[in-house]
Amino acid sequence: GAVVSQHPSWVICKSGTSVKIECRSLDFQATTMFWYRQFPKQSLMLMATSNEGSKATYEQGVEKDKFLINHASLTLSTLTVTSAHPEDSSFYICSARGGQGDTEAFFGQGTRLTVV
């Protein structure tokens, strides 16, 4: 299957700082990328959907000014958690999909964010 690389795998940051998470599709062009957040023992929660070259579509309740998503190329999307707080500590996962006719989305390894 296709490979999606997410970096970093884990990060600890101080409250008030910003953290950037990268998601790269290594061997295919990702027309659409999805960003999820997952709290312990809970399912994936879709935060936003981004299409290359356009603004991300955020799910209800997700602050677009706090979770900045950039999908500048067909192989790279970034999620920046701005002014992080301890309640932002979570597991963040990206997934990438090719054209709209493609059904399978491939997941990155996930990023464990801990805000202290």
Q: With respect to another protein, which residue has the nearer C-beta, 13 or 110? A: 110
* Residue 93 near residue 108 (C-beta atoms within 8 A): yes
Residues that bind another protein (CB under 8 A): 1, 6, 34, 41-44, 46, 49, 91, 93, 97, 100, 103-110, 112
How far apart are CB 83 and another protein at their closest, in Å? 26
How far apart are CB 67 and another protein at their closest, in Å? 18
Q: With respect to another protein, which residue has the nearer C-beta, 82 or 110? A: 110
- CA dist 23 and 102 (Å) reads 19
Q: What angle do CA 77, 81, 87 make, to 5 degrees?
A: 135
Q: What angle do CA 64, 74, 47 make, to 5 degrees?
A: 25
How far apart are CB 116 and another protein at their closest, in Å? 19
